[in-house]
Amino acid sequence: MTREPSSARVLVSGATGRMGRRVIEEAAARDDARVVAGVSRDLSGKIDDIPVEPADEFEVVLREYDPDVLVDFSVPEASREFVADCAEANVACVVGTTGFTEDEFAEGGLAALREASERVPVLHASNFSRGVQALLRAVEGAVSDLPGYDVEVTESHHRHKRDAPSGTANAILDRIESVGEFDGRIHGREGDALREPGEIGVHARRAGGIRGEHEILLANEHEELRLTHRAGNRSAFADGALDAAGWLAGRNPGWYDFSEVVAE
């Protein structure tokens, strides 16, 4: 296997957005990743020292800047096209965009990313913070140790977030469902929090500038356990995505998981 170059050449899509900007800022302080350019639909708001090109010229940008890896924080409909172009151009893809539909083969699902992973390495994660990776493991342990307890998942984010429940909440729900001892059903993934006893409730709150909070409550009639993660700022996600970019560049084609990056 060919391994990562010492400093990966990174192209950022969604470069003028909240996450794209933070990725560019964080990369400037690292020596394992160098942002060579950005692309975005919204080109307002200059970014110092980094050329930002229109998203509809993505293929030209790939040829001109010759990146090793794409780091994408945009919207699913754009992300799918960027990744397909990267597969053609042999560029690895780290995708942080959330809001792909639940059924990965439905329109809006992750199928286009999976297809690209047959030609280039692709890593999609709904949450690039290491704390959330630890939370997922803790949730698995708690659900497994507390059979029969009610489980409620609550997530809170800033008012601009487009998808609900969050990609991270969905990853938490997937992890709960994967526990053999858990025999409940999930209710509320589509935003409806009313539920029957024994079902998991999912609650999505959108307010102000909240950066991202996930709480898993497990309770029976005698006790309760709360597992909570709060993102202090977007650097946790940006750093994780750049860790993933350095790790992914130069790997074989395939579908990778952020837990593999964290494990090293």
What is the side-by-side order of every strand in the sheet holding 33-40?
A: 52-54, 33-40, 8-13, 69-72, 92-95, 121-124, 254-256
130 is in an annotated binding site: no
Q: Is 46 a catalytic residue?
A: no
Q: 170-174 long-range CB contacts below 8 Å, 24 or more apart?
A: 170/102, 170/126, 171/126, 171/127, 171/132, 171/136, 172/135, 172/136, 172/139, 172/214, 172/216, 173/200, 173/202
**Binding of residue 206 to ligand NAD (CB under 6 A):** no
**Binding of residue 19 to ligand NAD (CB under 6 A):** yes
**Binding of residue 74 to ligand NAD (CB under 6 A):** yes
The nearer residue to ligand NAD, 99 or 250, going by C-beta atoms, is 99
Q: Is 157 a catalytic residue?
A: yes
CA distance 83 to 253: 13
Number of residues that bind ligand NAD (CB under 6 A): 24
128 is in an annotated binding site: yes
Q: Indicate which residue of 157, 203, 214, 222 is catalytic.
A: 157
Residues numbered 92-151 forming contacts with ligand NAD, rule: CB under 6 A: 96-99, 125-128
Stretch that binds ligand NAD, among 14-22, 85-93, 109-117, 144-152 (CB under 6 A): 14-22
CA distance 92 to 255: 11
The nearer residue to ligand NAD, 128 or 149, going by C-beta atoms, is 128
The nearer residue to ligand NAD, 78 or 186, going by C-beta atoms, is 78
Binding letters toward ligand NAD, positions 25-64, x by CB under 6 A? ---------------xxx------------x---------
Question: Two tokens at 188?
Answer: 């509320």
The nearer residue to ligand NAD, 47 or 216, going by C-beta atoms, is 47
CA distance 102 to 170: 9
Choose, by CB under 6 A, the member of 78, 110, 112, 202 that binds ligand NAD: 78
CA distance 95 to 3: 20
CA 37 to chain centre: 21
CA distance 83 to 22: 21
For tokens 């409806």, the residue is 192
Q: Which residues contribute to the site for ligand NAD (CB under 6 A)?
A: 14, 16-20, 40-42, 55, 73-75, 77-78, 96-99, 125-128, 237
Catalytic residues: 157, 161
